Homo-oligomer: A and B are copies of this chain.
């Protein structure tokens, strides 16, 4: 069987909520920069692009951090969400693959966001090794294990070609990496205790194509879609 128990939620925060907390956090940082002291669930939800009931329910899983009749204190909520997400400490990240994508990721400010630091950028190609990217010198993939243990890397970002991804993943896991962010278009096999998230351009495009097609069919007028069914 290919089933796996989907890890019981330890502190009881639903996965769907966890996936939205970063969104709220970003919205709050925006408000904070603008000097807004408090915000209602309606306002915050609107900025984050969700509805207010969902936002309140999500926040209620963290605790009672709002004030009835007033709203949420922006700074306080930023702190609480950051703490919940584990952003009050720093996480070391290694990017494996210094091709176009790997370099784009390294350059991308997204890491700079509180809580993450790029410990190394690694590649298998000797011509790429040594090259300077985002203030880092690209290191050879054979240094992976050393980097992971020396820099206490807990998150590996895989930006290699598809064919190399599983091998690199295995090495990461073997070296002690606990989470993988995979940009290669393959399904990675990892042991139970390792978390994997994937970012897949062509999957996203195909999902959009599905919806585009549906819209196009509708546009031809009703009846068509049904007529196509066997």
Contacts and interface: CB of A to CB of B under 8 A. Distances in A.
A203 B22 contact: yes
B155 A206 contact: no
Q: How many copies does the complex hold?
A: 2
A4 B45 CA distance: 13
Interface residues of A, number: 77
A111 interface: yes
Contacts of A127: none
Interface in A157-187: 178-179, 181, 185, 187
A110 B86 CA distance: 33
A208 B155 contact: yes
A143 interface: no
Contacts of A23: 187, 203
A67 interface: no
A185 B26 contact: yes
Best-surrounded residue of A46, A207, A217, A225 (most CB of chain B within 10 A): A207
A90 to B, nearest CB: 10
A85 interface: yes
Contacts of A93: 205
22 contacts: A1-B51, A1-B52, A2-B45, A19-B203, A19-B207, A23-B187, A23-B203, A26-B185, A49-B187, A85-B210, A87-B209, A89-B213, A100-B107, A101-B104, A101-B108, A105-B201, A110-B202, A111-B201, A154-B212, A155-B209, A179-B211, A181-B201
